[in-house]
Structure formats: C-alpha cells, structure tokens
Amino acid sequence: MFKNLDNFQDPAVRPFKAHKNFTFTNNDSGSGVWGIKARSGSLFNYVSSSDAITEVVSGSVTTRYFGLPTWHTLNQTFYANHITASYTPGVSSRNLNTSASIISVGRDLFGEEIKPGSIDLSVTIGSVTFNIVDDEDGNLFDSNHSASFSTFKTNNFESGSTTTSNAVGSGSEVGNVFYEQGLLVFTDTGSYADAATSPFTLKYQGTHTIYEYEYRVSAKPFEFNTSTNISLTPDRSGSITVKEGAVSMSNFFPPSHKPSGQGTGSYALFYNAASEQLPVVTGSEFKPYVTDIGLYNEDNELLAHGKLGKPIRLSDDIETTFVVRFDV
C-alpha cells in the first residue's frame, strides 16, 4: 500500500539549535582540550629555542607551542584591529597584555560554537580556587566579583572613575572567550595569569544545528482500506520465517503444514503471502487501523519509519492526515 507524496521534494524544514554538556579537566589534553602560554616580544631574529614552550602530549604524540608566535597570532586575529564580528565596543572588552594563557577546545568538542553563557571554569592557582564564567558577550570574569564586573561593564569598561578602577583592581574581568573558535583567553597578568596551565575543570555546552523535516501524509476516505496482517488471510498463511521446532507458532499455519502430533505435515521455512483475504475484510464495515507509516524513495527504499502512539482508525467521511517529523 503506497501513495506518492506531493510535497516529498519540498517538505517543511525547521532548523533549531541543540546543546550538549561537556566537562573536561587539564588532564584531558589527549581529548582535544589543552592550555598554552603566550608572550609578547619582537619576532626579529626569532630563535625558537629561547622561547617559552608549552608541550601538549596526546598519546605518543607531543606538540610544542611557542609563546611568541602564539601571542602575535592571537593579537592579530582578535585584539589588534578587533576584526572579529563578535566584538561590540562597550559590550565586549578587548585588552591583550604582554602575556596571556589560553585554553583551546577542539572543534569536534563544541560543534558550531560554545554556547554563550554556558562556561563554568573552576581553576586552582597556587592554593586559591577561582570560579570563572562568561557573560554571553565574550567576556570572562570571576563570579566572586560579579557585582564589580557588572559595574565595570555598565561603564563601558572604562577605568577612569573610582568605581571602575576598583572593579579592574578586584579582578572582575580576567579575559575573553571566542565562542566560534573554542578559545578561552586569560589576559589578566595578576592572579589569573596561569589559569590555563593550572589544574582546572571546564564545563560548557556545545552547539549543533539540527534540521527537522515535516511531511503531511493523507489518506482519503476508503484509501488504505485493507490490511497486511497475517491473521486476515485464509488458512492464516503469510510471509514469515519459522524456526524449526517452533510449535508455539503452529496455529498460524494450515493444518496440512503442522508437524507430527498437531497435524499431518511439517513446517516450510518460508511462506508466501496469500492473495486472498477473509470475507470480513472485503465488507464495507471493515475499518483498519493505522499503526505505522513509512517514507520511501523512488527505489522503494525505506528512509524513515514512524510508529503511532496508538492505532488510529481511518474515517469514511473525511480525509485523515498524519504529520510525520524527523530530525537530520
């Protein structure tokens, strides 16, 4: 029982954002989360052997990050010209000092972006544990100084007044997060300078766009007014594979096919569906129930299968429409 869908090539498609929770520690560098250091300075006559180096070990592979090139790349990409689209003066604060530490999250661990407002970083520097969060606008701050940070942000991150100077001194703003790149940059050179290279636990949510497809499947009056249920065929035969010795299935087969003790014959391994149906099926009072809906391509390959929460009886008077939705 098949019917062509008029809207098969043009379904309703609705995108929505899905988020997944992630938790990593500084010991998970092999998974794609690691901390590195960056420092400013001249690249003239640069000698890598004299640079500050961060080594990241992943299995048997050791990757070396050099502080000076890392700082210049960071500065040119995110700070020197504020060229990223996520930067809004007065909403995001950008100030890269002479050194920085960076927590880098691999693309496959956050998807399209880290969800703004989802960062929760617990880091122990020396004997002090700090809790650092983001404000959804790309700024990282110490949650213990949230009031100071709010004041600082309200004043457009200007440090000219006594209030905002105190906010800066309290360590309210400690750096930036670049959601689409998976980077947490700690620009503070004081208490938080080693945030990326100290013991930490990072929690955040990744983002992935899922597309919901919707098809409307309709059955007009007296369409699909039949059933493929094996119990509606004469002698109860049908397409079914039978295990040898499965006597509990014996009542579903013709008497001549029942094994010794229950009939005169034996089971066949495969039965073809009967071409006839019981008389009750052909009567006008027969009303089948819909239990499953399948969507097939032009090669009769099943693409999606939906099972109804409860069987639905088709109407003789009006068209019955089912809405089939699935996510890709």
Mean pLDDT of 22-33: 84
pTM metric for this prediction: 0.69
* Local confidence band at 237 (pLDDT 50, 70, 90 cut-offs): very low
Residue 102 above 60 pLDDT? yes
Mean pLDDT of 81-109: 79
Separation between Cα atoms, residue 133 and residue 147, nearest integer Å = 13
Query: Which pLDDT does position 262 carry in this prediction?
Result: 57
Query: Which pLDDT does position 264 carry in this prediction?
Result: 57
Query: Which pLDDT does position 159 carry in this prediction?
Result: 58
Separation between Cα atoms, residue 269 and residue 247, nearest integer Å = 13
The sign one gets for the Cα dihedral 227, 233, 236, 238 is negative
Separation between Cα atoms, residue 252 and residue 233, nearest integer Å = 10
Query: Which among 196, 208, 172 has a CA at the least distance from the CA of 24?
Result: 196
Two tokens, residue 260: 């010794």
Mean pLDDT score across all residues of the chain: 81
Separation between Cα atoms, residue 116 and residue 176, nearest integer Å = 12
Give whole-number Cα distances, 31 to 27, 181, 284, 317, in Å. 9, 17, 64, 60
Residue 171 above 70 pLDDT? no
Query: Which pLDDT does position 308 carry in this prediction?
Result: 93
Mean pLDDT of 45-68: 85
Q: Which residue has the higher pLDDT, 321 or 256?
A: 321
Query: Which pLDDT does position 199 carry in this prediction?
Result: 94
Residue 325 and residue 213 in contact, taking contact as beta carbons nearer than 8 Å: yes
Q: Which residue has the higher pLDDT, 175 or 151?
A: 175
Q: pLDDT over 70 for what percent of the chain?
A: 73
Tell me the HSE value of 243 on the side-chain side, using a 13 A CA sphere. 4
Query: Which among 302, 294, 277 has a CA at the least distance from the CA of 225?
Result: 277
For residue 196, which amino acid is it?
Answer: A
Residue 54 and residue 64 in contact, taking contact as beta carbons nearer than 8 Å: yes
Q: Output DSSP code: residue 110.
A: T
